[in-house]
């Protein structure tokens, strides 16, 4: 009945800490899915966002693509992908990547666009090549916003990766789906708690990375 007692029961059951269905292995699976999806989304979104942001061209196309991608329901995409491709990691990656590309892409584009044009002009005027202007002047200033896009994407992925369990893969969604079918709420709540904790850890990680890689001159403190 009480959510907290479910949480307590779930985590104090030593059976939940061992084996292929134990918390460590499910957590690891979840992190693996999430990292893979984030890496693919970043590999697509970052270069395209940086390039379009730097040149200022293609902003409309990006908005259209991002809005279209945002409108696609993750659950439906997953079912469709499984029906068309069959079971496996790929059909899970499709909805996660579709989910994560828009925030990465749009935020990166906007972040680079939003960089004060004066230093960029100054950089060109002192003879920097375009690639150097992008990576030495624009990116360091745009970094906080770019990171926030990646963070949004990462949080959505972590939360949505639970659907992998629906198509017989692992991850923390396993507890939620299994709990649903077994009417075992302890498992559902336990799984949900783990996902929430993972989200908060993700947040903390991004905060830490931000402290590490963003110049104090940009952070302004």
Partner 1 sequence: MNGFFDIPSDLQHSWAGLIGVHLREALLPVAAGLLLALPLALLCNRFRWLYPPVLGVTTVLYAVPSLAFFVVLIDWTGQTELTVMIPLALYSLVVLVPAIADGVRSVPDETLSAATAMGFGTVRRYLQVQLPIAAPAVIAGLRVATASSISLVSVGALIGNQGALGNLMAAAQKYDRPELAANAVLTTAVLAVVCDAALVALRRVLTPWMPRSGRKRTAAPREELLTKGAAR
Partner 2 sequence: MIRIDSVTKRYPDGTVAVDRLSLEIPDRSITVLVGPSGCGKTTTLRMINRMVEPTEGRILLDGEDVQRRPVTALRRGMGYVIQNAGLFQHRTIADNIATVPRMLGWGKQRARERAAELMERVGLDASLAKRYPYQLSGGQQQRVGVARALAADPPVLLMDEPFSAVDPVVRKGLQDELLRIQDELGKTIVFVTHDIDEAIKLGTMVAVLREGGRLAQYAPPAELLSDPADAFVEDFLGADRGIRRLSFFASDALELTTDPVVPADAPAERLTAAGAPYLLVTDADGRPLGWRERGSTGGTERLLPYGRPFRPGTDSLRAALDCAVLSPTGWAVAVDADGRVTGVVSQQTIGEAIRSAHTAAGAHSAPARGEDEKVAG
Name the phi and psi angles at 182, rounded to 5.
Answer: -90, 0
Number of residues that bind partner 2 (CB under 8 A): 22
Shortest separation between residue 57's beta carbon and partner 2, angstroms: 16
**Beta carbon nearer to partner 2, 13 or 130:** 130
Task: Determine how many CB atoms are found less than 10 A away from the CB of residue 17.
Answer: 12
Measured torsion, CA atoms of residues 212, 213, 216, 221, in degrees rounded to the nearest 10: -50
Residues 118-137 that bind partner 2 (CB under 8 A): 118-129, 137
Q: Is 89 in the site for partner 2 (CB under 8 A)?
A: no
CA distance 156 to 77: 15
Contact 16, 8 (CB under 8 A): no
Could you say which of partner 2, partner 1, none residue 44 binds, taking C-beta under 5 to 8 angstroms by partner kind? Answer: none
Sign of CA dihedral 111, 202, 156, 30: positive
Binding mask 141-180 for partner 2 (x = CB under 8 A): x---------------------------------------
Binding site residues, partner 1, CB under 8 A: 1, 3, 59-60, 63, 66-68, 70-77, 79-80, 82-84, 103, 106-107, 110, 114, 148-149, 151-152, 155-156, 158-160, 162-163, 166, 173, 176-177, 179-180, 185, 188-189, 191-192, 195-196, 199-200, 203, 206
Could you say which of partner 1, partner 2, none residue 177 binds, taking C-beta under 5 to 8 angstroms by partner kind? Answer: partner 1
Could you say which of partner 1, partner 2, none residue 40 binds, taking C-beta under 5 to 8 angstroms by partner kind? Answer: none
**Beta carbon nearer to partner 2, 43 or 114:** 114
CA distance 31 to 33: 6
Closest CA to 171 of 71, 72, 78, 44: 78
Looking at the chain, the number of H-run helices and the number of E-run strands are: 11, 0
Q: Angle at which helices 59-71 and 90-113 pack, to 10 degrees?
A: 140
Residues that bind partner 2 in the complex, under the rule CB under 8 A: 116, 118-129, 137, 140-141, 214-218, 220
């Amino acid at each position: 009945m009480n959510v907290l007692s479910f949480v307590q029961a779930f985590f104090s059951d030593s059976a939940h800490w061992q084996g292929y269905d134990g918390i460590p292995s499910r957590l690891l699976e979840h992190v693996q899915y999430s990292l893979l999806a984030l890496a693919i989304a970043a590999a697509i979104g970052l270069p395209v966002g940086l390039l379009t942001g730097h040149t200022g061209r293609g902003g409309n196309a990006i908005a259209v693509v991002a809005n279209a991608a945002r409108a696609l329901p993750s659950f439906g995409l997953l079912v469709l992908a499984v029906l068309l491709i069959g079971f496996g990691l790929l059909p899970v990656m499709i909805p996660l990547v579709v989910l994560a590309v828009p925030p990465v892409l749009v935020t990166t584009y906007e972040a680079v666009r939003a960089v004060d044009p004066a230093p960029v002009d100054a950089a060109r005027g002192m003879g920097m090549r375009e690639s150097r202007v992008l990576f030495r002047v624009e990116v360091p200033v745009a970094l906080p916003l770019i990171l926030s896009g990646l963070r949004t994407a990462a949080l959505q992925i972590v939360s949505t990766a639970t659907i992998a369990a629906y198509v017989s893969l692992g991850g923390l969604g396993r507890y939620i789906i299994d709990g649903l079918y077994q009417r075992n709420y302890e498992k559902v709540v336990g799984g949900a708690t783990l996902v929430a904790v993972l989200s908060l850890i993700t947040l903390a990680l991004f905060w830490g990375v931000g402290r590490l890689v963003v110049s104090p001159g940009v952070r302004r403190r």
